[in-house]
Amino acid sequence: MATRVLDQHHAQAPAHGDKTGVWSWITTVDHKRIGLLYGATAFFFFLLGGVEALLLRIQLGSPENTFLSAETYNQLFTMHGTTMIFLAIMPLSAMFFNYLIPLQIGARDVAFPRLNAFSYWVFLLGGLFLNASFLFGAAPDQGWFGYANLTSKQYSPGLNVDFWTLGLQILGIASLAAAVNFFVTILNMRAPGMTLMRMPMFVWMSFITQVLLLLAFPVITVALILLMYDRFFGSSFFVPAGGGDPLLWQHLFWIFGHPEVYILILPAFGIVSEVLPVFSRKPLFGYAAMVFSGVFIAFLGFGVWSHHMFSTGMGPLADTFFALTTMLIAIPTGVKIFNWIGTMWGGSLQYKTPLLFAIGFIAMFIIGGLSGVMHSSPPADLQQTDTYFVVAHFHYVLFGGSIFGLTAGAYYWWPKMFGRLLNERLGKLHFWLMLIGFNLTFFPMHFVGLHGMPRRVYTYPEGLGFDLMNQIETAGSFVLTVAFLVFLYNIFQTSRQPANAPADPWNGATLEWSIPSPPPEFNFAEIPTVRGRDALWETKRQRGSTLPEPARVSGAGIHMPNPSYWPLVTAVGVLAVFVSLMVMGYTGVWGVAASIALLFLGVYKWAYEPAG
Amino acid sequence: MDAHVTGTAHTEHSHPTAGLYFKVGLVLFVLTALEVGLYEITYGEHAGSFAPTIKPLFVPMLLLLSAAKFALVAMFYMHLKQDHKLFSGVFVFPLIIAIFIVVALIVLQAYHFSFARAG
Amino acid sequence: MTAHAQAAHLETSTGLDNRKLAIWTFIGSECMFFATLISNYLVNKGRSLVGPYPHEPWTSPAGQHFEPIFEIPLVTLGTALLLFSSLFVVLALSGAQRGNRKALLGWLAATLACGIFFVGMQVYEFTHFVHRGLGFTTNLFGSSFYTLTGFHGTHVTIGVIWLATLWVDALRGRLQPHRALNLEMAALYWHFVDVVWIIIFPVVYLIK
């Protein structure tokens, strides 16, 4: 272990301008801290979404159950979906974007540190706004996709849909701001020698994700605006009685919604593409193919959206077009799967927890991909749509895919972020419980779905053949609960260990493993020069040996951006604008005007503050 | 996009002059006048005997005129012609997706309603 | 940290300034925003259940007569002014980059004048239309029209505020050549807003 100067209160050496206390976190512009904030907040919402799911599973555990009322059930499945997508998976990915992208490209921070902080605060406030709906007994209850005209004022007179509409707008702002930031960071702040085709695969997949965010979110922003106008001002964009078309909502939503699912999976693809090579002691198979298949998936992802609408009577021409594009998009995905297997093939496999989750990811994602391809046939989908078969499919890709991938990333990068390795035995226990629990919960859904059990209904009658499967699924969800308790216990136990993990516990290939764990505020004492793909393996190869433990240096003379509270103020301004729209009945236009003034104040002060 | 290029990007050799900007402005004005003129002779009060022949060509011609204006502002006022190609890429790629979405929605809607009417 | 618009030597991977790349990225994203609004307008075209209509006269069941709602001359004037404002802001930027404070202040003021006039024209147009019977919820045409042009007008207004702030900066001598990027960013945004109008004008006002 390297010798380090230990501050008596903290386990890490004071770097330049090391700060402690709540205020330092509120004003932080350090990408690592912002990443940890995202992670903690997202993990909390993930557990909340999990509790919502558990309640759903208890209700569905037996036929004609009265554990939840229909209305409560509707609120819970809506919030479960909305929470898991927007408040869990996306911000967990954001944790990795924030923490890792600058480290992996050899930079000291992102391009716009204050904009980065702003994104986090807007996300936090948006998530709180969305969940505040529970306090009013008016949690969103229209499904995470909010189909018109159920969402019209006539059929949803309460605040539920308003919380959802405005909440998603707030979250959209966070995502767009972050996407601009990471897009510029990846293009512009790479270390010398790091050409695009030498970037770590996680950075590539993240880059493509940012492009998808930039192009898809504006579409749902408009859709939500139109819905808001229908509800608040009486327009009829989605109301047939006024000449509007409910199907337009579905088109606009899914033009966003389909790229959104690639936004949800690509970061996990990137993480798995990092973990597999390191734990196979072998470079990623087919790097270029991985890049181009990712780009192809993103581009084509804008041409498949109506496969969510095969039962709406679009007509045979539309059905055929989207069926073909959907089948086509399976190809680049298949390329990736073969390349991951090819990476492991002939490698020296180190069966540590990150690798187990990565392998689990591949297996589960294959299953999810297969059910997805089954959906791509319109006639087959007419049986599958709106049944549990679809629920099985997207849980296999989002849970078996994204969550398994993100969990692999958590175990892999935990030592870098916290200076402590998570316990291996508990990690393996977590993995097996999660794998078994997950499959118990979701595999039977393929069968009940094809047997006709519909989605989004709070109960089912006895004797339809659904009972046993649902019992198994509910039992599985409890196994999953135990899995997460094991994970929480692991985190807790690990936090009580000394933070003495080495810089490079896994023999990593990428630059983040060349600096101390956890890194100093300025990341790199000297910006590295990159000489090839898998930059760190290349460096180790050229040295002919492993690298010594990096020393902790003071970072004096390295100028880092100043902390600031204007991003938070501006974020509060954003929240205020949307809250004022919600309560316009009470505070009128003056409330909106005051909120806009607060927003302007935040922006002006931010703009004129020296960035440092 | 390769590593560590020093600031060659903004030493423009053929920096547009004020004269060029004025010329582009004049062309933009003329194109706008043409757009309105085309409208007037096809649908407006000055619609003459040529109107029926023009009508099927009206939309394509109008879109062509506005595309030309769009390109002029983008290339000269927004400086894309002289600037690094990355800026053009960052602008054009979303534009392509955007045009696809607009066209797809129009086609889908037209087809959906004609399909529905056909029963 | 990488340079803030310091003279020639940018240490970024592309050689391009972070902030200039950021504004272009934002503009790319905004293409999708306006494309969706324009799509909404176009798919709703001709599907209003009642008038007033953009290009056709209409008599309501109650017997009230409405002329076609659009008034091409006024909006053409606004369109021309917005186009000229793009020219003016380019000249202002050129002045800023060359350190010519008078050119900067003069041309930027001209830009602002055109922008303010455009917004004023839109406000007048909206009030006039409402007066003539086209409210926001009157029909699908009204909702779609006001939403599309309203969001465009809001973008113009934000641009006016941004440029006005820079004009005050210039007046105080704080928009020197090495800080010209601030104006360049605002100008790019302004041009984009103009370019969106270049599409909206024919698609909404001229195409029947």
Largest CA distance in chain C: 71
pLDDT one-digit tens code per residue, A428-464 = 999 999 999 999 999 999 999 999 999 999 999 999 9
Contact A192 B111 (CB under 8 A): no
Q: Which two tokens stand for residue C17?
A: 């300034």
Q: Residue C84's pLDDT band (boundaries 50, 70, 90)?
A: very high
Residue A564 lies in a domain: no
Q: Residue B51's pLDDT band (boundaries 50, 70, 90)?
A: confident
Would you call B101 an interface residue with chain A, using a CB distance cutoff of 8 Å? yes
Tell me the residue ranges of DSSP E strands in A126-213: none
- Note whether A576 and A534 are same-domain residues: no
The answer to whether residue A169 scores a pLDDT higher than 60 is: yes
Q: Which two tokens stand for residue A404?
A: 């398994």
Out of A39-48, A354-363, A545-554, B87-96, which region has the weakest mean confidence (pLDDT)? A545-554
Contact B86 A248 (CB under 8 A): no
Distance CA C128, CA B102 (A): 30
Distance CA A483, CA A218 (A): 37
Question: Mutation test of the interface with chain B: which of C53, C198, C201, choosing the one with the most B Cβ atoms within 10 A?
Answer: C198
The answer to whether residue C36 scores a pLDDT higher than 60 is: yes
Nearest residue of C to residue B78, measured between CA atoms: C188
Query: Which of C29, C49, C143 has its CB closest to that of A237?
Result: C143
List all chains that touch chain A, counting a touch as 3 or more CB pairs closer than 8 Å.
B, C
Residue B8 lies in a domain: no
At A502 the pLDDT is: 95
**Cβ count within 10 A of residue A231:** 20
Give the end of a domain, one of A519, A551, A583. Answer: A551
Residue B9 lies in a domain: no
- Note whether B45 and B65 are same-domain residues: yes
The answer to whether residue A330 scores a pLDDT higher than 70 is: yes
Would you call B7 an interface residue with chain C, using a CB distance cutoff of 8 Å? yes
- Note whether B113 and B69 are same-domain residues: no
Q: Residue A610's pLDDT band (boundaries 50, 70, 90)?
A: confident
**Which residues face C58 on adjacent strands?**
C66
pLDDT one-digit tens code per residue, A347-375 = 999 999 999 999 999 999 999 999 999 99
- Note whether B76 and B100 are same-domain residues: no
Q: Residue B16's pLDDT band (boundaries 50, 70, 90)?
A: confident
At C90 the pLDDT is: 97
Contact A112 C32 (CB under 8 A): no
Residue B3 lies in a domain: no
Contact C40 A226 (CB under 8 A): yes
Distance CA C91, CA B3 (A): 34
Q: Are B48 and B42 in contact, with CB atoms under 8 Å apart?
A: no
Question: Mutation test of the interface with chain A: which of C4, C10, C13, C38, choosing the one with the most A Cβ atoms within 10 A?
Answer: C13
Give the domain CATH number at A352. 1.20.210.10
- Note whether A451 and A578 are same-domain residues: no
- Total domains, chain B: 2
Q: Residue C159's pLDDT band (boundaries 50, 70, 90)?
A: very high
SS3 call for A148? coil
Q: Which domains does chain C have, with CATH numbers?
A: 18-41+72-206 (1.20.120.80)
Would you call A461 an interface residue with chain B, using a CB distance cutoff of 8 Å? no
DSSP A401: I
Residue A7 lies in a domain: no
- Note whether A544 and A579 are same-domain residues: no
pLDDT averaged over every residue in chain C? 93
Distance CA A160, CA A268 (A): 32
Chain B residues with CB-CB distance to A306 below 8 A? 108
DSSP A501: -
Query: Which of A211, A215, A313 has its CB closest to that of B116?
Result: A313
- Total domains, chain A: 2
DSSP A367: H
Contact C136 A235 (CB under 8 A): yes
pLDDT one-digit tens code per residue, A189-216 = 999 999 999 999 999 999 999 999 999 9
Round the CA-based radius of gyration of chain A to a whole number and report it: 24
The answer to whether residue A255 scores a pLDDT higher than 50 is: yes
Query: Which of C4, C16, C49 has its CB closest to that of A188?
Result: C16
Q: Are A274 and A285 in contact, with CB atoms under 8 Å apart?
A: no
Residue B5 lies in a domain: no
Query: In terms of DSSP H, where are the helices of A387-534?
Result: 388-397, 404-418, 424-450, 467-495
Question: Mutation test of the interface with chain A: which of B1, B95, B108, choosing the one with the most A Cβ atoms within 10 A?
Answer: B108
- Note whether B72 and B103 are same-domain residues: no
The answer to whether residue B43 scores a pLDDT higher than 90 is: no
Q: Are A546 and A540 in contact, with CB atoms under 8 Å apart?
A: yes
The answer to whether residue A265 scores a pLDDT higher than 90 is: yes
Among A307, A299, A126, A314, smallest CA distance to A224 is for A126
Question: CA of C177 to nearest chain B CA: how many angstroms apart?
Answer: 14
Would you call C81 an interface residue with chain B, using a CB distance cutoff of 8 Å? no
The answer to whether residue A3 scores a pLDDT higher than 50 is: no
Question: Mutation test of the interface with chain C: which of A108, A180, A530, choosing the one with the most C Cβ atoms within 10 A?
Answer: A180
Would you call B39 an interface residue with chain C, using a CB distance cutoff of 8 Å? yes
Query: Which of C16, C22, C30 has its CB closest to that of A218?
Result: C30
Sign of the torsion angle spanned by Cα atoms C35, C136, A163, A566? positive
The answer to whether residue A589 scores a pLDDT higher than 80 is: yes
Contact A187 B3 (CB under 8 A): no
- Note whether B73 and B102 are same-domain residues: no
Would you call C137 an interface residue with chain B, using a CB distance cutoff of 8 Å? no
- Note whether B41 and B77 are same-domain residues: yes
Q: Residue A555's pLDDT band (boundaries 50, 70, 90)?
A: confident
Nearest residue of B to residue C27, measured between CA atoms: B91
CB pairs under 8 A between B and C: 141
Angle, CA B77 vertex, CA B76 and CA B82 arms, to 5°? 45
Nearest residue of B to residue A245, measured between CA atoms: B109
- Note whether A546 and A574 are same-domain residues: no
Nearest residue of A to residue C182, measured between CA atoms: A607
Query: Which of C14, C47, C143 has its CB closest to that of A187?
Result: C14
At B117 the pLDDT is: 64
pLDDT one-digit tens code per residue, C58-79 = 999 999 999 999 999 999 999 9
Among A438, A191, C196, smallest CA distance to B95 is for C196
Question: Mutation test of the interface with chain B: which of C40, C83, C84, C205, choosing the one with the most B Cβ atoms within 10 A?
Answer: C83
Angle, CA A59 vertex, CA A56 and CA A63 arms, to 5°? 135
At B5 the pLDDT is: 41
Question: CA of B53 to nearest chain C CA: how many angstroms apart?
Answer: 16
- Note whether A373 and A432 are same-domain residues: yes
Distance CA A240, CA B117 (A): 16
Would you call A193 an interface residue with chain B, using a CB distance cutoff of 8 Å? yes
Q: Are A42 and A87 in contact, with CB atoms under 8 Å apart?
A: yes
Query: Which of A226, A243, A612 has its CB closest to that of C47?
Result: A243
Domain that holds residue B34: 16-83
Would you call B32 an interface residue with chain A, using a CB distance cutoff of 8 Å? no
Q: For residue A131, is the peptide bond before it cis, meaning its omega torsion is within 30 degrees of 0?
A: no
Among A268, A269, A259, A367, smallest CA distance to A307 is for A259
pLDDT averaged over every residue in chain A? 94
Question: CA of B111 to nearest chain A CA: how many angstroms apart?
Answer: 8
- Note whether A59 and A180 are same-domain residues: yes
Would you call A190 an interface residue with chain B, using a CB distance cutoff of 8 Å? yes
Residues of C near A (CB-CB distance < 8 A)? 1-2, 4, 12-14, 16, 18, 21-22, 25-26, 28-30, 32-33, 36-37, 40, 43-44, 47-49, 136-137, 139-140, 143-144, 147, 165
Residue B48 lies in a domain: yes
Nearest residue of C to residue B75, measured between CA atoms: C191
Chain A residues with CB-CB distance to C32 below 8 A? 214-216, 218-219
Query: Which of B5, B25, B98 has its CB closest to that of C31?
Result: B98
- Note whether A587 and A481 are same-domain residues: no
Domain that holds residue A605: 569-612
pLDDT one-digit tens code per residue, B71-107 = 999 999 999 999 999 999 999 999 999 999 999 999 9
Query: Which of A217, A218, A243 has its CB closest to that of C49?
Result: A243
Question: CA of C61 to nearest chain A CA: how many angstroms apart?
Answer: 16
Q: Which two tokens stand for residue A126?
A: 């948006």
Q: Residue B116's pLDDT band (boundaries 50, 70, 90)?
A: low
Chain A residues with CB-CB distance to C14 below 8 A? 187-188
What's the mean pLDDT in A74-100? 98
Contact A245 C14 (CB under 8 A): no
Give the pTM: 0.94
Q: Are B6 and C15 in contact, with CB atoms under 8 Å apart?
A: yes
At A7 the pLDDT is: 33
- Note whether A588 and A445 are same-domain residues: no
At A89 the pLDDT is: 98
**Which residues face C59 on adjacent strands?**
C65
Would you call B109 an interface residue with chain C, using a CB distance cutoff of 8 Å? yes
Nearest residue of C to residue B57, measured between CA atoms: C207
Would you call B1 an interface residue with chain A, using a CB distance cutoff of 8 Å? yes
Contact B100 A255 (CB under 8 A): no
Q: Residue B118's pLDDT band (boundaries 50, 70, 90)?
A: low
Query: Which of A180, A190, A245 has its CB closest to that of C26?
Result: A180
Distance CA C153, CA C135 (A): 17
- Note whether A438 and A576 are same-domain residues: no
At A262 the pLDDT is: 97
Among B38, B43, B41, B46, smallest CA distance to B65 is for B38
- Note whether B23 and B70 are same-domain residues: yes
Residue A507 lies in a domain: yes
Contact C22 A180 (CB under 8 A): yes
- Note whether A134 and A214 are same-domain residues: yes
- Note whether B62 and B108 are same-domain residues: no
Residue B109 lies in a domain: yes
Nearest residue of C to residue A246, measured between CA atoms: C44
